[in-house]
Amino acid sequence: MQKNLPLSYIEISKENLIHNIKQFKSLLTNGTKIASVVKANAYGHGDKEVVKIISPYTDYFQVNSAEELERVRKYTKKPILVFGYTDEEGIKKAIKLSAILSAFDLIHLLKINYISGLLKKKTKVHVAIDSYLGREGIMPSQIENLILEIKKLKNIELDGIYSHFANIEDTMNFTHAQKQIDTYHEYVEMFKKNGFKNLKTHISATSGILVYENGNSLHNIVRLGIGLYGMWPSEHLEYLNKKKITLKPVLKWVTHIAQIKILPANHPIGYGLTFITKKITKIAVIPQGYADGLPRSLSNNGEVLIRGKRAKILGRVAMNMIVVDISNIKDVLPEDEVVILGRQDKNEIIAEQIAKESDTINYEATTRISALLPRIVK
């Protein structure tokens, strides 16, 4: 175990993070701007560290809440888009911190206008259009009335309109995505015909960049999330794009062995007695568990890396500990490095492996990592 390093921590590669944003910039044309998505603690990577590294390379940052905005604003002067729902207190915070707010509907827009008036500020707003996602945003049937009402509001500036794809990364059939983009463009034109000429427009996150904006840049902003962190939205999009760009994982999750011991045959391991040794077994106790972000579904299923070899998790993932089998790994010592996610020597555990073993997606595999673990930039 190296001196001056915590027992458990998240290592962030500055080089890989910068590499990834440059790769996506290479796909964009016509001056399309990048909004780097740092919500959810930068997908578990650490918003403070990520913002400091990429602030010179991005045009905007995107967060989900006023609370995230407060954190991110400490580390950058770049424009920040708040795209989650904001209540009255959240709106006040956002206005004071010069954020760009998302409006989900007319009621939300009226609330932002009213509070802006109280604070004697004019607030930039991006209106969400629900183009067949069935989530946040204005329904198409309400847009005509919305445009009439916006013209009456004195304390907001309609800076942009946006939408979000529903199904673009896991399919070869882009029929629904094309329906969404056609609907979105129809209402963009409606806004423009009603005098809103210089709107920011955006519908594409990482998947949309790879499918629609790639070499075309149909909109003047893209929202770069999962790809920024060196992960592909899906195996399908990786296959289609890996010859155009390379992505490098940014995160490495490191801990160290707390204890080594030998258990006899027919000995239980962990809560619920879900694993019983069939033979003499050498185990290592690892001080990370589901409170730190390890999915409990990795019980008797997942792996870690020790001395460059894979060690299987035995028994249940507990709140703060797991047990792994080191019977076939030579020369293991207490406090040896353990890699839960990332590369060690010639071996690597990627977020997609953890996601597959725990029946989820790579987004969740990193996002769930505890914010209490120190982030260290290398």
Catalytic sites, residue numbers: 39, 271
Backbone angles phi, psi at 254, to 5 degrees: -120, 140
- Pairs from 146-152 (Cβ < 8 Å, separation ≥ 24): 146/106, 146/109, 147/190, 147/191, 147/194, 147/196, 149/106, 149/109, 149/110, 150/109, 151/194, 151/195
* CA–CA separation, 343 and 305 (whole Å): 8
Strand-pair category, 281-286 with 322-325: antiparallel
| Nearest Cα to Cα of residue 362 among 295, 300, 301 | 295
Q: How far apart are CA 99 and CA 78, in angstroms?
A: 10
| Residue in this structure with the two tokens 């001080």, named with its chain if needed | 287
- 313, 301 Cβ separation under 8 angstroms: yes
Alpha helices in 194-265 (DSSP H): 206-208, 235-241
Identify whether the C-beta of residue 305 lies closer than 8 Å to the C-beta of residue 344. yes
Query: Tokens for 299?
Result: 């019980």
Per the CB < 8 A criterion, the answer to whether 155 and 123 are in contact is yes
| DSSP codes, 333-346 | -TT-EEEEEEEETT
Residue recorded with tokens 């185990």: 283
10 Å CB burial of residue 1 (0-12, 13-18, 19+) is: middle
Looking at the DSSP assignment, which residues form a beta bridge with residue 126? 102, 160
Residue 202's closest CA among 123, 151, 129, 122? 129
